[in-house]
Structure 1
Amino acid sequence: MRRRGLLLVMIGALGVGACQRDPATREAAATASGTAAAAPAPAAPAARPRVVALGDSLTAGLGLAPDVAWPALVQQKIAAAGLDAEVVNAGVSGDTTAGGLRRLDWALDGDVKVLVIELGANDGLRGLPVDQMRDNLSQMIRMAKGRGITVLLLGMEAPPNFGPQYTREFRDAFVTVATEHDVAFIPFMLAGVAGDTALNQADGIHPNEEGTRRVADLIWHSLKPLLTRALATT
């Protein structure tokens, strides 16, 4: 009963991130004859391999500094491991699996090697049909795999207020999707963090800095071998 109550609090409301980069320009250079000529435009830097974190507020890092959200912490781990890849935080507060599916094409722009899907909590909060959530997740995975992108699926728990059958079906949906599409899977991304007041913010929902570090550790454990293989095959 206590665990069910903690899960209800944890799923209560679930956070946004984006970044942009502008290209540089060069001034015109004088030729040896004294006439001015525009220098050729510099070659665009080669796109770095990407890890895209598609999620809600748990990925966006609601209530935390941008450099403490789990995608940023995973970026640090990638650098420490000597791997060449950038993590794109595509977390949007309050997003559902339907919302993630709608923006997936945009999110997969660039040289994406791994897609981490952290969505579903808000589907559970709203009591949306489980089969709809399952279909959305499946479509996202098919789209990513169709582009040769490796997928890591993060599981979530539903609040118990919709009854034990919904809670069970919700949990099983993630297992079914991961099995059917043969993708890497973490059953519960907040394992060991949810319900622990020392690891969560005052809202009792979103992990604090220490809680987020533990989430990043859990994700990195599964992500590292996937990214290493993906980079080795390019």
Structure 2
Amino acid sequence: MLRKTLMSMLFVFCGFAATAEQVVIAALGDSLTQGYGLPEQDGFVPQLDRWLKEQGADVNLINAGVSGDTTAGGAARVAWTLTPDVDGLIVSLGGNDLLRGIDPAVARANIEAIVKTAAESDVDVLLVGLQAPGNYGADYKTAFDAIYPDLAELYQTGYAPSFFTGLSAENDPEAVRTFMQPDGIHPNAEGVARIVENLGPLVLDLVAVAGQ
């Protein structure tokens, strides 16, 4: 990243040897990120943090998940989430927009604002997608589902098609229930572990890029 390159040049100029710094990644999201309904150690961020460290990543993962948050909430707080020490940002928002039937154009504008703010702060992004259910109609689903791949391509961010990919290799809705809490919305500890196994390699890519 530019700011780290400049810092390294400054250290060399001043006669000091530059050393590698721990990569700081903030996970901006809602209850899925925050770890709703689970003991702290079983939530998404703690499990992902352990997985990354098991892979040898020197990373500090920050839980910036707020239960109930919409894309608007994420856009409102992204600026103060991106403190100067943050190198990378995982963006996983949109589920509460779906629950409220928020216009996909509004959700898109909010997520784009988040990605733009990260770009302006020289922070690399992994954008985690979400697919709308069919009960809002085909037009709504098409518009909402396109938000994430479109913005990832436009801003050249990392991209994961879905937070829930990996819960069922057979894409069997009945099998997925095994990995969910009783509310049918939030994953249980085993479900989170499967999510982490799926998203982990993409987060490792983010750590590698953000640490440059």
* Other-structure match for 2:186: 206
Structure 1 residue corresponding to 2:67, chosen from 89, 93, 98: 93
Contact 1:144 1:151 in 2 (8 A): yes
> Partner of 2:28: helix, strand, or coil?
strand
Find the aligned partners of 1:107 and 1:81 in 2 and give their Cα distance.
Answer: 26
Matched, 1:126 2:100: yes
**Which amino acid letter does the alignment assign opposite residue 81 of structure 1?**
Q
**Which amino acid letter does the alignment assign opposite residue 104 of structure 2?**
V
CA offsets 1:123-145 (integer angstroms, 9 cap, x no match) = 11111111111111111111111
Higher helix share: 2
Contact 1:184 1:222 in 2 (8 A): yes
> Partner of 1:102: helix, strand, or coil?
helix
**Which amino acid letter does the alignment assign opposite residue 223 of structure 1?**
V
Structure 2 residue corresponding to 1:65, chosen from 29, 35, 39: 39
> Partner of 1:189: helix, strand, or coil?
coil
Unaligned runs of 5+ in 1: 1-46
Contact 1:125 1:158 in 2 (8 A): no
> Partner of 1:103: helix, strand, or coil?
helix
**Which amino acid letter does the alignment assign opposite residue 126 of structure 1?**
R
Number of aligned pairs? 186
* Other-structure match for 1:225: 205
CA 1:130/1:115 → structure 2, altered by over 3 Å: closer, same or farther? same
**Shift of the alpha carbon at 1:98?**
0.5
Aligned-pair Cα RMSD in Å = 1.5
**Which amino acid letter does the alignment assign opposite residue 158 of structure 2?**
A
Find the aligned partners of 1:125 and 1:198 in 2 and give their Cα distance.
Answer: 22
Find the aligned partners of 1:136 and 1:106 in 2 and give their Cα distance.
Answer: 16
After superposition, where does 1:110-189 map in structure 2 within 5 Å? 110-189=84-163
> Partner of 2:58: helix, strand, or coil?
coil
**Shift of the alpha carbon at 1:218?**
1.4
CA 1:181/1:229 → structure 2, altered by over 3 Å: closer, same or farther? closer
**Shift of the alpha carbon at 1:84?**
2.1
Matched, 1:55 2:29: yes
> Partner of 2:146: helix, strand, or coil?
helix
- Residue identity over aligned pairs, in percent, reads 35
**Which amino acid letter does the alignment assign opposite residue 204 of structure 1?**
G
CA offsets 1:65-96 (integer angstroms, 9 cap, x no match) = 11111111111122223322211111111111
Find the aligned partners of 2:49 and 2:161 in 1 and give their Cα distance.
Answer: 22
Contact 2:30 2:93 in 1 (8 A): yes
Unaligned runs of 5+ in 2: 1-20
